[in-house]
Every structure is written in C-alpha cells, then in structure tokens.
C-alpha cells in the first residue's frame, strides 16, 4: 500500500520494449502498483494527449485520473504528489473509444445460430425487445474490442421480424459482470429499403406501420397514464435518469380491436412518442432522410438519431438545420443497393462541414476495433484532391466524444474532460494509424486485462515445437 502512495516513475514504452523481446505480452500488467478491481489514481506524463473533444493532440501533456475520474488532461498540468506517475514518453493517450451501434455481447459465432442473439425473426415482439438481459460481458468480442481500445458501446439488435429492432443499451467493456450502464437507452427502427421489406414489401408499408405504431403507442400511453417525464428507478452505475419500464406498468389501459401492436410493444414505444427515449432510424437514401426529418412535424417530440445515412451529403444542410445527429457509415463508397447510389467516402466530411454532428457507425465495419482505422481514413481524405475528410481531432471526436454525446453521455465518458469517467487508453503510437495499438486500457480508472482467446492462441503457437509434448499441454 505504501507503494501506491509513493510517486513512481515508469516508462510505459520502455517496459513494453523489453517485454517485446522477452515475448511476454502480459507481464506489463502491474507497471502501475496496486492493481485490483478498484479504481486507482494514476498520472501519465510526457505523452501526446488527445482529449477527444475535437481539438488536435497536445504534445508533452499529462493526464491525471483520481477516484475513477479524469481530473486533468493537457499541457502544464501538475500531478498531485500522491498520485503514482508513469512516464508516457512516446505514447499517445486518448479517451477510450466509444463504439456506436455494435452487437457486442449478443453473439459468440456469427453463423452458429444458437449463439447469436442479434436478431429474432420469429419473435411475437419487436419494439418491446430489450437487449440488456441478453448481453454477455464475457463475450470474446467484448474482450477483443477492449484490447483494441474500445471502452464503451451502444448495443442493439437488428430489425428482423419487424421494422422495430427493439431497445438498445449503453455498455462499458470493463472486466466485470456489470456491463450495462443504461438499458432501454434507445429504440431502433429501419426505414428505407430494409424497413420496406420488413413492413410487408414497400417503403409505404414501412411508413404506414411506423405511423400506426406511434399512434397506438400515443393512445396507449394516454390510457395507461404513462408519464412523459422520466421516473426514477433503482440507481445503477451511472444511471441517474433511467425511466421506469413502461412495458411493466399495468394501468388498466383498455385496447380496442383495431391494434397491430402487442400491448408490450405499444408500451415500449410510449417513451419514443413522448420523446424521452431516442429513436435511432436506419436510413440511407437522400429522399428517405428527408422523409424521416419530416416526421418531426407529425410527431414533434421525437428525439431522432439517423443511422447509416450514406447519401447524407446530398441533404447535409437539411440534416444540419434539423439538429438531428448522425451515426454514419464510415467509408461506404459503392452503390451497394439503390438507396446508396451516391455513396462516397467524403460523405462524413461534407456533412460535418455543413454542421451535422456525426459519429462513426461501428456497424458499418467488420469489428468495432476498426474504428480508429476508419477514422484515420477520413483524415487521409484531407490529402486527396476534391475529397472531404476530417481533421485528426475531428476524426478522433467522431469515435469518442460525439458518439458519447449522441448516446446522452456527454461529459460522462468519451473525453478527457475533468469529471468524465477514467476511460483512458495508452497507445504505442498515433491511435488512428494502422501500426498502433493500445498498451494499456483503463475503464473507470481500473486497468483492464487485455488477454483473450486470440492472445492465448498466439502465445501457444509462438513456435511449433512439439518435441516434448503436444501443443495441448502448452497453456
């Protein structure tokens, strides 16, 4: 314990360098003292620090975390005398990556249907589905994403039996049993091509189904006297405003026969129509985006977020004027279907230039740990004539503070703002560069293990020597 009170100076990269030669990737855990399940106080000095707020990285800067929260980040920061300090020379320090629209914790093997909870085509329910009880914090994909620097995510299922996918959650990727930070954080609906097919075969069907669902929900909410204002439930990790689950209320809301939604689904949509739960709308084509923005005139309280938005650049000014944020597919540039004919990698750059708030959609890439690479590609566009890219700081914000803000967590995570969660990633180089990777990951100030099935296989097959015993004994 005394060691924890004594400032220590360790070189993060120096430690790593030696370990690389020794080939013991796990041994650097413990470079900070007092590792345990509790948040530790720490400071990292002489690092290149990116705060995630859109600003450019700061050289020779310091980050201080105490009690699981960021205390300070930047140049000229003084480290309190009792905070253990590491020399971060050569490293980059950022907030943890925030991945929007993932399916983390919902599947083990994609094609192994029994292990895959990302869709539920045969369920009698749609909007009522809630991912929270299905999320497995021990999923390898959570472990692997965490090792890639992803510390927070939104999780949702895919629309499959209906245009409504159900209710998504906000999670942390910490090494503990309590992954869900906020359940029922948002509802997801598919409009456009996919929504049209799910609704019965056309975009008209999707829009009719959608309007009817909101009408039924509004009616149900009135009859059931479900409050439009958030009620309190048992406090969770950071859940200070989690509303009651309207599905579980029974206020004797009589229902006529002219209903398409189950009672459970209608109840689940009450917070959507009341505007207390954001509605994430999957939409790609410019015309479909306009149609979605127009919904606000019919349902003024809708709290919309657009997802996908491949043709957003064609209607960027409309989106900006609506103040609706966007979780955009990052690098789509092919006419994958007839609603994405205008796809270009410059889409995000053009939307941002028009004043749209844009986060990168993790669902548009194969793995959430690709987010920094995709953000880096948007920076690369700055050097391509006529293309629109992002500055480095903007790109980093699009995978940290902006997705946090869209999730309603501005200032709580996704940036190194004082008071934000101590989600800190130390990288061995520019985090957006393909050659870089995390060397340390902290969530709420707790250093996280970064081993997983992949690292165990790597260590076993470091050589192919079986002269003494089969590989099965090498563990």
Partner 1 sequence: MPYRACLIMGGAVALAACSTTGASTGNGRPASGAAKTDAEAPYASTYKAYPGAPTALVGATVFDGEGGHTENGTVLFADGKVVAVGGADLAIPAGYTRVDGTGKFVTPGIIDIHSHLGDYPTPSVDAHSDGNEATSPTTPEVWAEHSVWPQDPGFTRALANGGITALQILPGSANLMGGRSVTLKNVPSRTVQGMKFPGAPYGMKMACGENPKRVYGGKGRAPSTRMGNFAVNRQTWLDAKEYAAGDRKKRDLGKETLAGVLAGDILIHNHCYRADEMALVLDMAKEFGYKVSAFHHAVESYKIGDLLKASGTCSAIWADWYGFKMEAYDGIPENAALLQREGACVVIHSDDENDIQRLNQEAAKAQADGRRMGIDISDATVISWLTLNPAKAMGIDAMTGSLTQGKMADVVLWNGNPLSVYARPEKVWVDGALLFDATDAKRRPVSDFELGQPGEGDVK
Q: Rule CB under 8 A: which residues touch partner 1?
A: 20-21, 23, 25, 108-112, 140-141, 286, 311, 314, 331-338, 341-346, 366-367, 373, 376-377, 379-381, 383-387, 428, 432-437, 453-454, 457-458, 461-462, 464
Q: How far is the CB of 24 from partner 1 (least distance, A)?
A: 10
Q: How far is the CB of 132 from partner 1 (least distance, A)?
A: 23
- Give the 3-state secondary structure of residue 202: coil
44 — phi, psi (to 5°)? Answer: -125, 125
Which residue, 1 or 338, is less far from partner 1 as judged by CB?
338
Burial grade of 136 (CB within 10 A; 0-12, 13-18, 19 or more): middle
Which residue, 187 or 436, is less far from partner 1 as judged by CB?
436
Strands annotated E in 50-163: 58-66, 69-74, 85-87, 92-95, 97-102, 150-155
Which residue, 85 or 346, is less far from partner 1 as judged by CB?
346
Sheet holding 164-172, edge to edge: 97-102, 150-155, 164-172, 180-190, 279-283, 304-308, 326-328, 358-360
Strands annotated E in 263-422: 279-283, 304-308, 326-328, 358-360
Q: How far is the CB of 438 from partner 1 (least distance, A)?
A: 11
Q: How far is the CB of 369 from partner 1 (least distance, A)?
A: 8
Report CA torsion sign: 296, 299, 305, 306. negative
Q: How far is the CB of 150 from partner 1 (least distance, A)?
A: 14
Cβ count within 10 A of residue 153: 32
Closest to 397 measured CA to CA, from 367, 380, 417: 417
And the tokens for 72?
């300070």
Which residue, 294 or 457, is less far from partner 1 as judged by CB?
457
Which residue, 3 or 26, is less far from partner 1 as judged by CB?
26
Q: How far is the CB of 153 from partner 1 (least distance, A)?
A: 16
Q: How far is the CB of 362 from partner 1 (least distance, A)?
A: 15
Q: Residue 401 to residues 135, 152, 240, 396, 419: CA-CA distances in angstroms?
A: 24, 11, 20, 8, 14
Q: How far is the CB of 336 from partner 1 (least distance, A)?
A: 5
Q: Residue 455 to residues 93, 154, 367, 449, 450: CA-CA distances in angstroms?
A: 23, 25, 17, 11, 8
b/e burial code for range 247-283 (CB count within 10 A of at least 16 → b): bebeeebeeeeeeebbbbbbbbbbbbbbebbbbbbbb
Which residue, 99 or 305, is less far from partner 1 as judged by CB?
99
And the tokens for 149?
């620097």
Which residue, 75 or 336, is less far from partner 1 as judged by CB?
336
Which residue, 20 or 355, is less far from partner 1 as judged by CB?
20
Give the Cα-Cα-Cα angle 173, 244, 69 (nearest 5 degrees): 35
Which residue, 125 or 374, is less far from partner 1 as judged by CB?
374
Q: How far is the CB of 108 from partner 1 (least distance, A)?
A: 8
């Amino acid at each position: 314990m005394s060691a924890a009170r004594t400032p220590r100076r360790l070189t993060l990269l120096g430690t790593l360098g030696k370990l690389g030669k020794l080939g013991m990737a796990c041994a650097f855990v413990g470079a900070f003292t007092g590792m345990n399940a509790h948040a530790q106080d720490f400071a990292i000095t002489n690092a290149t620090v990116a705060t995630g707020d859109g600003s450019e990285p700061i050289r020779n800067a310091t980050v201080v975390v105490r009690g699981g929260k960021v205390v300070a980040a930047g140049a000229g920061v003084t480290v309190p005398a009792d905070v253990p300090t590491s020399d971060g020379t050569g490293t980059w320090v950022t907030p943890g990556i925030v991945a929007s629209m993932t399916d983390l914790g919902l599947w083990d093997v994609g094609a192994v249907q029994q292990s895959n909870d990302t869709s539920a085509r045969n369920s009698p329910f749609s909007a009522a589905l809630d991912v929270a009880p299905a999320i497995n914090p021990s999923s390898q994909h959570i472990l692997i994403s965490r090792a890639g620097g992803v510390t927070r995510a939104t999780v949702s299922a895919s629309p499959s039996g209906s245009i409504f996918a159900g209710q998504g959650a906000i999670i942390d990727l910490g090494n503990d049993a309590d992954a869900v930070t906020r359940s029922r954080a948002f509802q997801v609906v598919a409009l456009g091509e996919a929504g049209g097919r799910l609704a019965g075969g056309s975009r008209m069907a999707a829009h009719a189904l959608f309007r009817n669902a909101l009408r039924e929900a509004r009616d149900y909410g009135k009859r059931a006297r479900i409050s439009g204002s958030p009620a309190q439930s048992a406090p969770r990790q950071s859940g200070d405003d989690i509303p009651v689950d309207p599905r579980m209320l029974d206020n004797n809301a009589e229902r006529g026969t002219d209903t398409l939604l189950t009672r459970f689904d209608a109840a689940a949509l009450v917070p959507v129509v009341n505007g207390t739960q954001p509605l994430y709308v999957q939409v790609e084509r410019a015309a479909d985006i306009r149609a979605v923005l127009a919904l606000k005139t019919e349902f003024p309280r809708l709290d919309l977020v657009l997802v996908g938005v491949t043709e957003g650049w064609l209607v960027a000014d409309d989106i900006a004027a609506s103040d609706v944020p966007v979780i955009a597919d990052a690098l789509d540039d092919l006419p994958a279907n007839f609603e994405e004919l205008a796809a270009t990698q410059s889409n995000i750059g053009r939307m941002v230039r028009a004043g749209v708030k844009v986060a990168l959609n993790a669902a548009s890439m194969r793995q959430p740990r690709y987010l920094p690479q995709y953000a880096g590609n948007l920076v690369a566009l700055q050097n391509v004539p006529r293309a629109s890219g992002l500055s480095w700081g903007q790109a980093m914000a699009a995978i940290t503070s902006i997705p946090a803000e869209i999730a309603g967590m501005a200032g709580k995570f996704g940036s190194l703002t004082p008071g934000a969660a101590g989600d800190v990633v130390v990288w061995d180089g520019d985090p957006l560069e393909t050659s870089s990777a995390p060397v340390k990951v902290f969530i709420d100030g707790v250093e996280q293990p970064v081993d997983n099935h992949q690292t165990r296989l790597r260590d076993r097959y470091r050589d192919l020597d079986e002269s003494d015993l089969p590989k099965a004994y090498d563990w």
